[in-house]
Structure 1
Amino acid sequence: MKPLTEQDIRSSFVNCSKGEAKRLAVPRDLADRPWADLDFLGWRDPGAPDRSYLVTERSGRPVGVTLRFPSQQRGFLHRSMCSLCLTTHPGNGVSLMTARKVGPAGREGNSVGVYMCADLACSLYVRGKKLPESGSRFEESLTVEEQIARTTGHLAAFLDRLHA
């Protein structure tokens, strides 16, 4: 992913108003992000514990979505799998993220959900740059490039559902 500026990020959101995009908390460490290892930029809002944001490239331009997730806690023995990168996590490592749909459907309250890594680090897990709390990922017969393609394909399908 190519590096993004704060302005790139704020102008990319498709499922919130311009005013909401102007007020959301953008990471201050954009220059330090591992852009070459990211398929999307994802972060949690430090001021709103139930909100996260995701920005990715589609058709050569950044597209951002606001996400909400439940604050309920799961037991540590519970394991879940991210539906984007297929990484398993114990406890609260995976969460149902919901995004308001784009346009009139979103204004009517319709949303789409996906189970994702709660820290939004799917790109780093797939590349082996970060390990889940469990300490390892399942070994796969797919190459890293194929796993990246699968992850970005799952993300694209989720984003397509926001426009449907």
Structure 2
Amino acid sequence: MKALTERDIRGSFVNCSKGEAQRLALPRDLAERPWEDLDFLGWRDHTAHERAYLVVEREKGLVGVAMRLVPTREGFRASLCSLCLTTHRGEGVTLMSAPKAGKAGREGNSVGLRMCADFGCSLYIRGLREPAPGGGRIKESLSVEEQVARAQENLGGFLERLRS
């Protein structure tokens, strides 16, 4: 992924107003992100823990999504991220709920995605980050490039449901 600027990020959101996009809290460490190893930018709002954001490069440009973390009562069992297929114990995988774009979202319709709560999917796939004890990666025969393509396809499906 190419390094993004504040302007890039704020202009990419499809499921919130321009005013909301201007007010949202950006990550404090944009300059330190490992951009060359990221397939998307994801972060939790440091001013409101239940809010999170995702920005993805697509063929037609950037797509930003405002989301809410859905509280879960999973205890200490392991859960699987639907993007990178990494397992985490406890709250390492969370359900993210996003209002749909346009009229459907204003009417209260949303879509959900279970994903790594730390948005580390790209780094887990590439072996650059390890899940906390009790979590892990599924051993599979796909190459890293094929795993990246699958994660991007899974994320693309989420974005399509968001816009439909």
TM-score normalised to structure 1 length: 0.95
Report what 2:160 is aligned to.
160
Answer yes or no: is the 8 Å Cα contact 2:83–2:121 preserved in 1: yes
1:86 aligns with 2:85: yes
Residue pairs, 1:39-118, within 5 angstroms: 39-72=39-72, 74-76=74-76, 78-118=77-117
Aligned length: 163
Tell me, yes or no, if the aligned pair for 2:101 and 2:162 is still in contact at 8 Å: yes
- How far residue 43 of structure 1 moved from its aligned partner, in angstroms, is 0.3
| TM-aligned CA deviation for residue 71 of structure 1 | 3.5
Whether the 8 Å contact between 2:72 and 2:94 is mirrored in structure 1 is no
Following TM superposition, the consecutive aligned residue runs of length 4 or more in structure 1 with deviations greater than 4 angstroms are: none
Give the CA deviation at 1:136.
3.6
Provide Cα deviations, 1:72-131, integer angstroms capped at 9, x if missing partner.
45322x110001111000000111111100000000010000111111111111111111
CA drift at 1:7: 0.7
Shift of 1:49: 1.0
Between the aligned partners of 2:116 and 2:80, the Cα distance in structure 1 is 8
Unaligned runs of 5+ in 1: none
Following TM superposition, by how much is the alpha carbon of 1:8 offset from its aligned partner in structure 2, in angstroms? 0.4
Deviations 1:23-66 (CA, angstroms, capped at 9, x unpaired): 10111221111001000000000111111100010115211001
CA distance in 2, matches of 1:50, 1:125: 23
Query: Aligned partners of 1:120 and 1:30: how far apart in 2?
Result: 14
What is the distance in 1 between the residues matched to 2:137 and 2:83? 14
Percent sequence identity over aligned pairs: 64
Contact kept? 2:70, 2:97, Cα under 8 Å: no
1:23 equivalenced with 2:23 (yes/no): yes
The alignment partner of 1:68 has SS state of: strand
In structure 2, the gaps of 5 or more residues are none
Contact 2:86 2:136 in 1 (8 A): no
RMSD: 1.2
The answer to whether structure 1 residue 12 and structure 2 residue 12 are counterparts is yes
**What TM-score comes out, normalization by structure 2 length?**
0.95
Structure 2 Cα separation of the partners of residues 85 and 124 of structure 1: 9
